[in-house]
Amino acid sequence: MSLANKYRPQTFDQMIGQEHIIDILKAQMMARDSVHHNYLLFGPRGTGKTTTARLIAKGLNCLNLQEGNPCNVCDACKLINEGASLDYVEIDAASHTGVDNIREEIIDKAVYPPTALRKKIYVIDEVHMLSKGAFNALLKTIEEPKSDVCFILATTELHKVPDTIISRCQVFNYRKVAQEAMVGHLEKICKAEGLAASHEALKIIANISEGHVRDAVKYIDQVSILGTIDEDNVSKFLGVAGEGTVRAFFEKLENGDKSQFFELLDQIDQKGIDLVQFAKQVIVYADQHLLENMDFYLKISQKLGDLLGVIRRYPHPRMAYKIVFNPFFAGEGVCLPSVQSETVSKGDKKSDILPQISEQPTEKNQTSSSNNQQEQQAHQEKSVETQVQEMDLSVLWKKVIAGLKPTAQANLADGAVIEKISGSEVEIIAISSIAKMLLNNKENEKLIISGLEAELGQQVSLSLKTMSKDEYFAMKMGI
């Protein structure tokens, strides 16, 4: 038997992280003769919805309640625990989606009184998977339930359940379990199983499980095969980094040593650590230590969030990390290349960008008029320059292609980039053959130019270049 099933809570008091629900349910079990007949439990997977449904079933039928908890020793509790009662029915809506399934399993049978239990219990898991017709067929039965029938619906996607069903149920919202409660739960399981486990290893498991108890217990079950549950074994078996590695990630960034930072990334990748999961771990760590250096952690978390959106499409995830963080070591902060960084890096001075203002002496009235015109022109040019400098090129590109057809948007979003803006010339690099084809399309070209001119407030021309992804990444890395 898996640890997840072995340590499934058998009483309400054994549930963790859902105290706001458990206290209400225990009170209802003690006043079960006037209890609500329909329940709707929703929340993330692995947080105890199905377990709660079984506890409600036992609580409504238990012959010897213990302060709202089922006793688990009476005949009614045993029948439900063993799945041997015809009065307790669990239905997986994912495989029973149609009207006929609901009619055969529930509607036609709910009219008959229970045979062995006080109440008939129908648990419909993943209820959002039911078809519209099935919901309509179920509605009448739920709307006017018999006193000896109780419906318990569970779902991870409440928005897919019709309002007519929701309004006829008592709704409970399940939350992800906090790290402290999760670690305490895992420590109890390890102690009961005689497993040697370090506190740090359990913290890692609690973090990567993201509040899902079933996942966390499953990870304990898997790693225990290696013997001791420590950071090394957790990292080896689950492909995640230890807290020391995550901490080193931030330390290398703070120290500003690019070679050491890139070497650390290489080591992380060579250990087989999932770089997508690692980004999530880094964000969690930053959140936990946010008050120590708020600006620093927020900048890194923001870029890692952007990285997570595209990293699966990159041929080399490790290179994606290096591209994102390379500007940090040039003193530009953690950001992708922008117009500002491009113009400054080329040594352009303000006088090179803005028009030269003549200082030759003129007559007083001509000088005044000329100065006013030049000031206005300089102000306009400066506004354009400031606007371009402050604009993130990736954000600008998304805005520009928003006017294209959806398929073109999808392919150009990751297949092309604005490399730089020099005066009125916008250089775009296509890093996929599809993107090149789309950019060479006259209609797309007109729309892109129109979008750029609207965003930049000036006329522009396009300069198109083509590179492979590897060539582009190598160029950005300076190799």
Q: How confident is the model at residue 9 (pLDDT cuts 50, 70, 90)?
A: very high
Q: How many domains does the chain have?
A: 4
Q: How confident is the model at residue 338 (pLDDT cuts 50, 70, 90)?
A: very low
Same domain assignment for residues 263 and 309: yes
Same domain assignment for residues 452 and 470: yes
Residue with tokens 């250096």: 293
pLDDT for 59-118, tens place per residue? Answer: 999 999 999 999 999 999 999 999 888 899 999 888 877 888 888 888 888 888 898 899
Residue with tokens 């908890």: 69
Exposure letters 267-292 (e unless 16+ CB within 10 A, then b): ebbeeebbbeebbbbbbbbbeeeeee
Domain C-terminal end among 151, 173, 195:
173
Query: What H or E segment, with its residue span, contains residue 49?
Result: helix 49-61
In a domain, 340, yes or no: no
Same domain assignment for residues 17 and 148: yes
Here the CATH number for the domain that contains residue 440 is 3.30.300.180
Q: Give the mean pLDDT of the chain.
A: 82
Query: Residue 333 pLDDT more than 60?
Result: no
pLDDT for 356-403, tens place per residue? Answer: 333 444 444 444 455 555 555 544 444 444 445 445 788 888 888 988
Residue with tokens 């995830």: 317
Same domain assignment for residues 24 and 162: yes
Percent of the chain with pLDDT over 90: 28
| Least trusted range by pLDDT, from 7-21, 168-182, 335-349 | 335-349
CA 60 distance to own-chain centroid = 37
Give the pLDDT mean for 176-196.
Answer: 92
In a domain, 435, yes or no: yes
In a domain, 407, yes or no: yes
Same domain assignment for residues 189 and 223: yes
Same domain assignment for residues 80 and 52: yes
| Least trusted range by pLDDT, from 183-187, 215-219, 289-293 | 289-293
Same domain assignment for residues 317 and 270: yes
pLDDT of residue 336: 38
Same domain assignment for residues 248 and 319: yes
pLDDT of residue 350: 37
In a domain, 163, yes or no: yes
In a domain, 248, yes or no: yes
pLDDT of residue 457: 85
| Least trusted range by pLDDT, from 11-25, 328-342, 414-428 | 328-342
Write the CB contacts of 335 (distance below 8 Å, at least 6 apart in sequence). Answer: 299, 303, 327, 341, 392
Q: Which two tokens stand for residue 354?
A: 């803005």
Is 415 exposed, middle or buried (CB count within 10 Å of its CB: 0-12, 13-18, 19+)? buried
Highest mean pLDDT among 133-147, 185-199, 353-367: 185-199
Query: Residue 415 pLDDT more than 90?
Result: no
Q: Going along 326-424, which residue ranges are E strands?
A: 416-422
Q: How confident is the model at residue 274 (pLDDT cuts 50, 70, 90)?
A: confident
CA 161 distance to own-chain centroid = 22
Here the CATH number for the domain that contains residue 193 is 1.10.8.60
Domain C-terminal end among 219, 238, 257:
238
Query: Residue 353 pLDDT more than 80?
Result: no
Q: How confident is the model at residue 219 (pLDDT cuts 50, 70, 90)?
A: very high
The torsion defined by the Cα of 361, 362, 365 and 366, in degrees rounded to 10, comes to -120
In a domain, 356, yes or no: no
Query: In the beta sheet, which residues pair with residue 124?
Result: 91, 153
The predicted model scores a pTM of 0.64
| Least trusted range by pLDDT, from 239-243, 287-291, 368-372 | 368-372
Q: How confident is the model at residue 280 (pLDDT cuts 50, 70, 90)?
A: confident
CA 17 distance to own-chain centroid = 20
In a domain, 137, yes or no: yes
pLDDT of residue 153: 95
Same domain assignment for residues 277 and 218: no
- Domain ranges, residue 320: 243-330
Here the CATH number for the domain that contains residue 31 is 3.40.50.300
Query: Residue 328 pLDDT more than 80?
Result: no
In a domain, 339, yes or no: no
Q: How confident is the model at residue 289 (pLDDT cuts 50, 70, 90)?
A: confident
pLDDT for 250-268, tens place per residue? Answer: 888 888 888 888 899 898 8
Same domain assignment for residues 82 and 158: yes
Same domain assignment for residues 16 and 146: yes
pLDDT of residue 374: 54
pLDDT of residue 359: 42
pLDDT of residue 137: 87
Domain C-terminal end among 330, 351, 369:
330
Percent of the chain with pLDDT over 70: 85
Query: Residue 476 pLDDT more than 70?
Result: no
Give the pLDDT mean for 165-179.
Answer: 91
Q: Going along 104-225, which residue ranges are E strands?
A: 120-125, 149-155, 170-173
Q: How confident is the model at residue 348 (pLDDT cuts 50, 70, 90)?
A: very low
Highest mean pLDDT among 152-156, 456-460, 468-472: 152-156
Same domain assignment for residues 154 and 188: no
pLDDT of residue 477: 58
